[in-house]
Structures are given as structure tokens and as C-alpha cells.
Amino acid sequence: MSELPSQYLSVQKRFKKLLKAVDNLGKVAKDAGPIDKKTSHLIQLAAAAAIKSEGAVHSHTRRALKAGAKPEEVYHAIILLTSTIGFPTVSAALSWADDIIKKQKL
């Protein structure tokens, strides 16, 4: 079973060139500076939480953990946003991160 969400796979199948370009953009952006992979995923996780994107929070939680982040670092990246995006949005993002973290602890 793929760890990629079914919606992503559906878009990838239907719009191959678009997804290839999006994937390439992400790689180029990551290679454009000195930030390591784990930190870049934690930054993207925070951005995903800020825009209230459940799917992106899932994705970047998964990727941050795979890049070596500990669950506590994932939670910290999200709770740092409390004074910026508000507690309700942070609480929602924490629950989305938990969806991934709790699966990995099973």
C-alpha cells in the first residue's frame, strides 16, 4: 500500500506533467539553500497548519518523521504558531499530526 494519499495519486495519474513539475519545484526549492531536510519539512508543516490544510499537515508530518524529526519536534513546530494562527487552528493541526504519529506508534 502506498503511503501517498489516494487524492494525490489520482491527480498524479490524471495530470502527470503537472505533478512532475510540482515535484521538481519542491526539489529545486529545497536545494536552493542550506536548510536541512528535517527542518524544511517542519517549516512546511507549520505553513500547512497555518493554511488549515489537513492533507498537507499529514504529508509533512510523515515526511518530517521520515527525515528524522521526533514527534515532540512535530508538536513543537505546530504549537509555536499559537500566537500567530490561534489556538483552535493549532489544536486542529495537532490532531492531524496525531493521525500520522499514532499510526506509526502501533
The CATH code of the domain that includes 71 is 1.20.1290.10
**CA–CA separation, 72 vs 7, rounded Å?**
28
- Polymer length of the chain: 106
- 12 and 54 belong to one structural domain: no
Averaged pLDDT for residues 70-87:
98
Cα–Cα distance for residue pair 94/76, rounded to 1 Å = 10
Coil/strand/helix, residue 106: coil
Whether 29 and 42 share a structural domain: no
Which residue type does 57 have? V
Mean pLDDT of 41-47: 97
**DSSP state at residue 24:** H
42 and 87 belong to one structural domain: yes
The number of domains in the chain is 2
Share of the chain above pLDDT 70, in %: 97
- Residues 16, 45: one domain? no
Domain with 1, as residue range(s), is: 1-33
- The reply to whether 76 and 29 lie within a common domain is no
Q: Do 12 and 41 belong together in one domain?
A: no
Read off the pLDDT of residues 5-20 as tens digits, 9 standing for 90 and up.
788 889 999 999 999 9
Same domain, 86 and 40: yes
Q: Are residues 29 and 43 in the same domain?
A: no
Reported as a single tens digit per residue, the pLDDT across 51-76 is 999 999 999 999 999 999 999 999 99
| pLDDT for residue 106 | 60
- CA 41 to the chain's CA centroid: 6
Alpha-carbon gap, residue 36 to 54, rounded angstroms: 24
Task: Tell me which amino acid residue 86 is.
Answer: G
65 and 97 housed in the same domain = yes
For the residues 36-55, what does the mean pLDDT come to? 96
